[in-house]
Copies of this chain bind each other. A is one copy, B any other.
Amino acid sequence: MKIKYPFPNARVYKKTSYKSQGMLFENGLNITNEFYRINNKAIIYKKPTPIQVVRVDFPARSKAKIIEAYYRTPSTTDYNGIYKGKYIDYEAKETSRKSFAFKHIFPHQIEHLKKVSEQGGIAFVLIYYKVVDEVYLIDIEVFYDLYQAGLAGGRKSIPVEKASEVGVLVKLGYTPPIDYLDAVDQYYFK
């Protein structure tokens, strides 16, 4: 059974289903970022999921226990940090379809990434197409144009073929599992 959370990043799986899901995309990214940090390659962290705390209980002799809270919509994206002295910011998405639908990313997250790009930062979307087991990095300017075209009546999703055409394929492996900074080098530092 999969529990329905208000947005994908807050989704959790029962322990018994871990194996059948393979390595979670988010988990792979976290391990990758830890690898980058340990090797002083980049300092990139996932931001905590924003939670609105309503009630807190203080049991004697133990730490504060939150007893009522709700998931909030994130203001920005999931990941940011520093790479080669530059600010880097991205959103990571996975889809079980052959085309990534724009409705699965918040419009204000797209706007946020666009602004980061305009201020000279590195900003992109990472999309994991589970059916083909491929991850693509798509620069926000490119992503933004496709998104705008969708709003104007065009295609409201990015098929994996399109991603391979306009994005950069991310090498998947073991150390690190999702080497997206290699794709960043190809696109932003070539």
Contacts and interface: CB of A to CB of B under 8 A. Distances in A.
A119 B48 contact: no
Which residue among A5, A37, A118 has the maximum number of chain B CB atoms within 10 Å of its CB?
A5
Interface of A is mostly: mixed
A31 interface: no
Given A45-B76, A66-B66, A81 B71 contact: no
A67 B71 CA distance: 12
A68 B62 CA distance: 14
The 6 residue pairs across chains A and B that have the minimum distance between CB atoms? A85-B120, A48-B50, A82-B87, A66-B69, A87-B87, A48-B48
A42 B116 CA distance: 9
A40 B119 contact: yes
Contact of A51 (B43, B51, B58, B119): B51
Given A3-B56, A48-B48, A87-B87, A119 B43 contact: yes
Interface string A68-80: 1111101110001
Interface string A48-59: 111101001010
- Interface extent on A, as a size class? 35 or more
B69 A115 contact: no
Nearest to A5: B64
A82 B121 contact: yes
A63 B6 contact: yes
Contact of A43 (B10, B69, B112): B112
A26 to B, nearest CB: 15
Contacts of A88: 87
A69 to B, nearest CB: 4
